[in-house]
Structure 1
């Protein structure tokens, strides 16, 4: 038996509920401050956690319950894909289950990078057993060694307004480095006010040299991240397609917005195309999170946008994506911050101050 996060969705009249778009996070969201997230917020989700632990035990992998309750956070233990992916999936899906559906109608789901797999689980395009199989399999593909890496670089000003010239400068660096013999460099993710760039070691080294330093922090190398969403992942994509057959996928019960801004509706989803996009296109092509967010709010006009935990690393990028189109009348960081104090419309479940706004559940202190 598995959890069905949609089981009571039809019991409540949508006219009385606020419309929400739900956003699932990617790989970099379970950090030191999130240690113990599952046991703190989701002690009631034993069946979910045990089902994931049971699956991973068969793969001779660490239990997520043990990872979450470790005495100390470890980069070596918590950040590799084979552990981080399953752990983040459990936290995010459990958060999704906690959304009070008597007050909120989930009108669409989307996500960033690995968050696409989680979004499919939330929308029931992957059943719970199939979701952990897909997520754990794809997350474990580079357990024997990373292929390339990623760096993140800001392309916005202090007001969180995207600077088109800065974006062009990054594009020029990518083009320039790509012309150098032995270097591979690509845009990996368009992430609100940031660009995530991926490539081989030679390409990344050149990019770090060419990109102007910002605040003595950027360009920032993302620890234990491979060259996701680039042609360097061709072999990973092929293996994924071989190991994860089409029958694991099904039509969603909630509309989904993918990393191109493409819409997948419950009554018109072609399962083979969904399988192909998930295991081929988005694995080897850039992921446009900014476009996914902007399409989601334009198409579904939500009252609020909810970002699932763990952590709140995706909150800024989501806000920046919305500021870029003046959504919710947010023109810059200041207007966003002022509006959030008065009446929050971007809710981050990884933020304790926000959780109570959308869930009635209590958590362990």
Structure 2
């Protein structure tokens, strides 16, 4: 019996210490794929993906760099996408932030090698420019009830800070029950001073992250368009849901518009991952939401996005955990037990 699924591709911050060795652990049979990526890195004088994955030690300063994290995450996720069980029918593909590039490859709009070129190039450009930074702050209760008034207040605070001279701050990613904010040092510092600390970790700065999905990234977007040709792109074979919640239906959009959205719009405008997940649920009604590895950190944001629309009666953290224990609806391939449910 076929199981329908929406495939969700991860963004930055998902290849951490626990993920070191992910490729060798799960994808020793994908040698041809990984070797092709290694050859592309070798050609530009970069350390190979295989060598990075096989290192003895994980270093935050190294492995959070855009030119290191991005290719590792891409290789892990695209290999996972190719390892799904035969009874899984992918009805749509989406991703979080950098995960949009992976989604393009998983949906067939980019070949695996073209997708790697896009990710590796954008990861390099982001690291070279490293404009601004990001932080994360919650807008929900600990039982996953979205506080809409508080969310509005926080976004108003962001807008107010951005009006100050030399302060730049804006929404970067709407991430389930979290707001990812991005801006320059003055803007981020002002927000941190204005909000109370929560759960002993928020507001949380993200290491080696630039001000993704804001106008600060316009130079990076322009450089990406200059280096990455439309010829890399083709028509998607599966429906894609982008960072606005818009569905790209196979055959309904031009390659030029997909290229321009990918290397302009989504680089410089906020990414609404929450909306993408909710559209996936409401428009495709899948049996499963499968999150490609590495890591498992995106599972919470997916679950929180579903709770916000009371998907199949999921009205909070407790209801979601009960459902997961009985009949999982969100499956993270970075979790060995969950991976076994959906992989070959």
TM-score bracket, shorter-length normalisation: over 0.9
Question: Unaligned 5+ residue runs, structure 2?
Answer: none
Cα deviation for residue 260 of structure 1 reads: 0.4
Structure 1 stretches of 4+ with a deviation exceeding 4 A read none
- Aligned residue in 1 for 2:57: 72
- Aligned residue in 2 for 1:44: 29
- Aligned residue in 1 for 2:13: 28
Name which of 125, 131, 135 aligns with 2:109: 125
2:29 is paired with a residue of what secondary structure? coil
1:266 is paired with a residue of what secondary structure? coil
- Aligned residue in 2 for 1:112: 96
- Aligned residue in 2 for 1:313: 297
Cα deviation for residue 128 of structure 1 reads: 1.6
Q: Deviations over 1:177-220 (max 9, x none)?
A: 11211000010000000000000111111111112210221000
- Larger mean Cα displacement after TM superposition, 153-162 or 314-323: 153-162
1:19 is paired with a residue of what secondary structure? strand
- Aligned residue in 2 for 1:186: 170
Matches within 5 A, 1:231-310: 231-310=215-294
CA distance in 2, matches of 1:162, 1:273: 34
Matches within 5 A, 1:130-145: 130-145=114-129
Cα deviation for residue 81 of structure 1 reads: 0.4
Cα deviation for residue 145 of structure 1 reads: 4.5
- Aligned residue in 1 for 2:41: 56
Q: Deviations over 1:262-283 (max 9, x none)?
A: 1111121211110110000000
* Equivalent pair of 1:173/1:211 in contact (CA under 8 Å): no
- Aligned residue in 2 for 1:3: none
Name which of 47, 64, 76 aligns with 1:91: 76
TM-score (norm 1): 0.93
2:5 is paired with a residue of what secondary structure? strand
Question: Unaligned 5+ residue runs, structure 1?
Answer: 1-15, 361-365
The size of the alignment, in residue pairs, is 344
CA distance in 2, matches of 1:270, 1:206: 42
What CA RMSD, in Å, does the superposition of the two structures yield over aligned residues?
0.9
Cα deviation for residue 169 of structure 1 reads: 2.0
- Aligned residue in 2 for 1:12: none
- Aligned residue in 2 for 1:7: none
- Larger mean Cα displacement after TM superposition, 165-174 or 185-194: 165-174
Q: Deviations over 1:319-343 (max 9, x none)?
A: 0000000113211000000010011
- Aligned residue in 2 for 1:363: none
* Equivalent pair of 1:155/1:166 in contact (CA under 8 Å): yes
Cα deviation for residue 76 of structure 1 reads: 2.1
Matches within 5 A, 1:214-225: 214-225=198-209
* Equivalent pair of 1:159/1:333 in contact (CA under 8 Å): yes
* Equivalent pair of 2:241/2:247 in contact (CA under 8 Å): yes
Cα deviation for residue 173 of structure 1 reads: 1.6
* Equivalent pair of 2:137/2:180 in contact (CA under 8 Å): yes
1:268 is paired with a residue of what secondary structure? coil
Matches within 5 A, 1:330-345: 330-345=314-329
2:13 is paired with a residue of what secondary structure? helix
2:97 is paired with a residue of what secondary structure? coil
